[in-house]
Structure 1
């Protein structure tokens, strides 16, 4: 099975005295659905940030989509991010742009034509049941709707890897269930590797998954 993420003796932090995780080792396959849990401040978000290059490894090695993340140059990082979709707890939508244009953003970055971007955005908005709000603006939507827009945007460019940092942390139970269902469909129907940082694994999650726990600076898998 092809590895999409590989970490060896990986330490992450901001100074040597402020290492959040230390000497962790793990591998994730392209076919995996992965959940990462841990107490607040344990380093869950730090690990996710390292996977899309917001922070670099302090020591050890980290490979994502066949790209070494140590000392990665900005141009190479930009190329890597074309293979990754990212969903944040606070959505990070552009409030001055319509819902449709927000979803088009990754495709615009890839340099695709306006018509291709628009058609793909409409397909994805239909998939998340928000096509009827394509010309609304993010602040006109509920939190759950904004997160579904963020989901559509993250999937717009058919990423190999979908990284999610507490994607349901601000949502009610109904909206959370919708997001988990969409994450499951991304794995099952698009073949996307999904990695989710979460404080709570839903009891209704009906999909095989791998579970990693971060605690006391370490990271281990629960069988």
Structure 2
């Protein structure tokens, strides 16, 4: 089974002498569904940021999709982000763009034809139950609707990895359930590796998963 993410003695810092993550060792394989859990402020989001190059590593090694994250070039980071999907708690949709255009963005960056962009966007909006809002703008939607659009955008360019940071933290029960099931479907049906930071693992989600539990800067892996 191919390794998607590998950390060896990984150390992450915000301040010079205060490690947030200490000497972490873990592997995440293709098709894994991984929950990253721990108390507030334990370093869950910090770890996730290191996986897409938003935070540099200070010690040890980290490989994501075959890219060495110790000293990645700008081209390496661009290549990585073109091939992963990221879902944030605050959605990060472009407010001046329609929902349809927001979903198309990753495909346009990856050079998809206009016709394919339109076709895939229509399918994804139908899949996330947002077809009726295609011409709306983010601020015209509820939080749950915005997160469903963010999920559609994350899936648009066939990523090998989805990273999600508290994707249901601000959502109602219906939208939370829908987002969790979209992530489950991406993993089980499309074979996408999924890594989710969450303060609470959903009890209703029937999926084979493993956990990275962070406590006092240490990362413990559970299956």
CA displacement at 1:56 relative to structure 2: 1.2
Aligned partner of residue 169 in structure 2, secondary structure: coil
Counterparts of 2:80 and 2:176 in 1: how far apart (Å)? 29
1:18 partnered with 2:49: no
CA displacement at 1:16 relative to structure 2: 3.1
Match of 1:205 in 2: 205
Tell me if the contact between 1:14 and 1:58 (Cα under 8 Å) persists in the aligned partners.
no
Counterparts of 2:153 and 2:120 in 1: how far apart (Å)? 10
Match of 2:149 in 1: 149
CA displacement at 1:110 relative to structure 2: 1.1
CA displacement at 1:155 relative to structure 2: 0.5
Aligned pairs for 1:1-223 within 5 A:
1-223=1-223
CA displacement at 1:5 relative to structure 2: 0.2
CA displacement at 1:83 relative to structure 2: 1.4
Mind listing any 5+ residue stretches in structure 2 that lack a counterpart? none
Tell me if the contact between 2:31 and 2:188 (Cα under 8 Å) persists in the aligned partners.
no
Aligned partner of residue 14 in structure 1, secondary structure: strand
Q: TM-score, normalised by structure 2?
A: 0.98
CA displacement at 1:113 relative to structure 2: 2.2
CA displacement at 1:48 relative to structure 2: 0.5
Tell me if the contact between 2:98 and 2:138 (Cα under 8 Å) persists in the aligned partners.
yes
Mind listing any 5+ residue stretches in structure 1 that lack a counterpart? none
CA displacement at 1:114 relative to structure 2: 1.9
CA displacement at 1:206 relative to structure 2: 0.3
- Superposition misfits of 4+ residues, deviation over 4 angstroms: none
Q: TM-score, normalised by structure 1?
A: 0.98
Aligned partner of residue 163 in structure 1, secondary structure: strand
Question: How many correspondences in the alignment?
Answer: 223
Aligned partner of residue 135 in structure 2, secondary structure: coil
